[in-house]
Structure 1
Amino acid sequence: MQAALSKAQIPDIAAQVTYAMRIMGIAPLPRNYELYYEAYIGSNPKLTKELAALGSRANQEELDEIGARYFAHVHHAAGIDRAHTHLASELGDLLRLLREEQSALENYNRLLDETYQNITGRSNASAEILRQAVSILTEATADTMNQGKERAENVSLKSFEMEVIRQELDEYKRIANTDSLTRLANRRAFDEKLAAIYNSEQLRSQTSLLVADIDHFKKINDSYGHPVGDKILATVGTVIRANLRRDVFVARTGGEEFAIILNDNTLEESLQVAERIRTALATTPFKNSKTGVNYGPITLSVGVCQATQADDPVDLYNKADIALYCAKNAGRNRSMLFEEGMKKDTGKSWLIYRK
């Protein structure tokens, strides 16, 4: 898919994916975009191969069949649509209840006004009129209170039902932002989190980005196969997660690349975190307990850049990526801080990360 794109004309991933879908005649539906986005960033080689096998004119039924296998809960748009429809229906019912309550109060207010007029009217200033007015107001007040209680109970029930639906929608979003293999955040969630850094100058001043890549991962896949490679990816994700605070954001951003966003850390502290993760992984055994085959050692190269060193999210990612490239070029299994003057040899393929 990438070979058909002119990068000079298409500056970012989103545009490249959209452009590729357009020239292949793929309907611009969110669930289709999700498939081709994941295929483009290389997070699932099997998915990429299946989409490529469909050719340039895949029909929607074929795409939905693939989506159902790889994104079982998310790809089915019907699930999200159903939740949204249910929520809209509940909101409509709640609005109707509130309007009824408003109408009841307006009627009650009108009755009060009419009774007041009867009591104060000169021609009706009699004890009988007063007794009738008190009787009418007493009955109206009781009816209004009963109706109000019933509506309050209905409003409470609707609020509970809407909370359940909100939780369902939150779960859809969580699944949509989770990498199915490592259970870490995925590239979509990472892009959102990275962009948010520059919404606040205070947040920018205390945030660092770590970009990590497994060394020689292509060799692992070629030697032992993708199933073993997938297990190693999952284990690497577990090791990274175990060596970070619970509140630290970590994502698998594609293939064998991971990203970590650190808040409240100096550049030196961020480097220490990178080294802790790198060392922990290098000492983790990767051995098949049944066959005795040793897949290790598995190592990481890490690039670190502070948000204040970059102008925007794209610049921050690029500079962390340059530091990662330099760590690879310097021999791998090391962490490097970004420094001005570092350059990435653009004449070489980014696939150096996979070598």
Structure 2
Amino acid sequence: MNGASSSAASPQHGLTNRLTRWARGLSSKGEIESHEEEADPHRARIGSIAHREITRRRKLYEDIGDFLFAHDLDLTPLNFGVAHDYITGAHIGVEKAVKAVLTERGKITNSWVETVVAEQRTDEVTPEALASMLCKVEENLSEFTGLMTESRNSAKDYGAALQEEVKGLAPGGNNEPVLSRLVALTRSMVEKTRQVETQLRHNQKQNLALKSSLESARRAAEHDHLTGLPNRRAFEAALQQELTLAKEQNEQLSVAFCDIDHFKQINDIHGHDTGDRVLKFVAGLLAKISNDRCHVARHGGEEFVMLFRGKTAAEACEAVDGVREDLATRSLVNRSNGERMERVSFSAGVANVFFYDDPRSALKAADRALYLAKEHGRNRVYLAAEAD
């Protein structure tokens, strides 16, 4: 069978054709509507935008279909999602993994897709997984409570039965039948106790495993997998805690936003792998000044956020500026080709939390100061003005 007939018979190729026909139908409809609306410039402009969007989507669907067909992948949501993430660059991890396997093998398979998606999601904790773990904990606690109740009742019944049998003991008489019943009763109690102990040990092992899983889930939910720093969620929890402590102890509380300068250019010129290493390097420098009174977190993208308890905004500025100066003097090298990179720097904005009505307003003020630092040349730290 030649290549043309094979392509026609392939369900993936059929998908491509169906998507193409559907997109062309939308495109034709858009063209008709745009002709009808030429008399209205505003409507014509909207129609033109819609037409471009339809064309973009049509091209994307064609590319995804071609990708699935080229690698003989089944038409599944998982494969479609990986193809979409790779073609659009929506998921950097997936994009890098696909590029790596294409370089090594030239082709990907259904099983490989399942493997890479599982690896990319190892740090994700779904609500369903957490709910399942919590349900298991509740089940174990319920079983534990039941076992304890059963054990107490058994002990109580054993005590009552023992007292009843003891009444039958006659001094100097034939007590063999009574003693035989006492032995049987004791054996039964010992066996029940062993069963309870075995079940308790089993429950204890399960609870320890669940505790470890829940702890891993908590860490995954509160830490950034790339840099190892706490994430935005963890920072918000720390902010509330530090705010309470600062008020109780009458201390200053300052917040800072740091953003790597021209980070998109770093990714565009040197690639995402190098960009990731730059993120981790900057995160490491910022983490060096963290302690129980200074929290550093990755806020998202190339932006980091810091919280200083016991420091005025000016003192926090000095601390952040020290890290900025350190980074600006570093001569970083692109590990993939050994070439020296352009100087990497960051800009920052700092605000005193208590100068504002609430922490959110202080965060916005620090963000505005960061924006001004960027606008006025980058590689500098600006202090937010006190709120009116």
TM bracket (short chain): 0.5 to 0.7
Q: Secondary structure at the match of 1:183?
A: coil
Q: CA deviation at 1:239?
A: 2.1
Paired residue secondary structure (1:238): helix
Separation in 1 of the partners of 2:172 and 2:318?
A: 89
Q: TM-score, normalised by structure 1?
A: 0.63
Runs of at least 5 residues in structure 2 that lack an aligned partner in the other structure: 1-88, 95-113
Q: Quick check: which has more Rg, 1 or 2?
A: 2
TM-aligned CA deviation for residue 76 of structure 1: 5.6
- 5+ residue gaps, structure 1, are 1-44, 51-63, 343-355
* 2:196 aligned to which of 151, 155, 175: 151
From 163, 166, 180, the counterpart of 2:208:
163
Relative to 1, partners in 2 of residues 1:203 and 1:129: Cα closer, same or farther, differing over 3 Å? Answer: farther
Specify the alignment match of 1:98 in structure 2.
148
On the 8 A contact 2:293/2:309 being kept in 1, the answer is no
Going from structure 1 to structure 2, the CA distance change for 1:216 and 1:203 (only over 3 Å counts) comes to farther
Distance 1:282 1:246, change over 3 A: farther
Q: Which of the numbers 287, 290, 295 marks the counterpart of 1:244?
A: 290
RMSD after superposition: 4.3
Distance, in Å, in 1 between the alignment partners of 2:282 and 2:138 is 42
Deviation of 1:297 after TM superposition, in Å, equals: 1.2
Native 8 Å contact 2:255 2:351 kept in 1: yes
Q: Could you say which residue in structure 1 is the equivalent of 2:248?
A: 202
- What letter is aligned with 2:215? D
Residue 156 of structure 2 is aligned to residue 87 of structure 1: no
- Tell me which of the two structures has the higher relative contact order, counting C-alpha pairs closer than 8 angstroms and 6 or more residues apart: 1
Counterpart for residue 90 of structure 2: 46
**Distance in 2, Cα, partners of 1:131 & 1:273:** 87
Question: Structure 2 vs 1, CA of residues 277 and 86 (structure 1 numbering), >3 Å: closer, same or farther?
Answer: same
1:218 aligns to what?
Answer: 264
- Structure 2 counterpart of 1:256: 302
8 Å CA contact retained: 1:197, 1:203: no
Residue of structure 2 in register with 1:351 after alignment: none
Corresponding residue number in structure 2 for 1:320? 366
% same residue = 27
Report the AA paired with residue 101 of structure 1.
S
Residue 41 of structure 2 corresponds to: none
Native 8 Å contact 1:212 1:301 kept in 2: yes
Contact (CA 8 Å) 1:243, 1:276: kept in 2 or not?
no
Q: How far 1:249 moved relative to its partner?
A: 2.8
**Is contact 1:204-1:308 (8 Å) kept?**
no
Structure 1 distance, partners of 2:178, 2:252, is: 70
Question: Equivalent of 1:304, from 350, 354, 365?
Answer: 350
Q: How many residues align?
A: 284
Deviations 1:315-342 (A, max 9, x none): 2311221232233334322223333159
| Residues 205 and 308 in structure 1, CA contact (< 8 A), matched pair in contact too | no
User: In 1, Cα distance between the equivalents of 2:201 and 2:357?
Assistant: 48
Deviation at residue 204 of structure 1 after TM alignment: 8.0
How big is the shift at 1:263?
A: 3.2
Match of 2:333 among 287, 294, 304: 287
Post-superposition offset of 1:132: 9.4
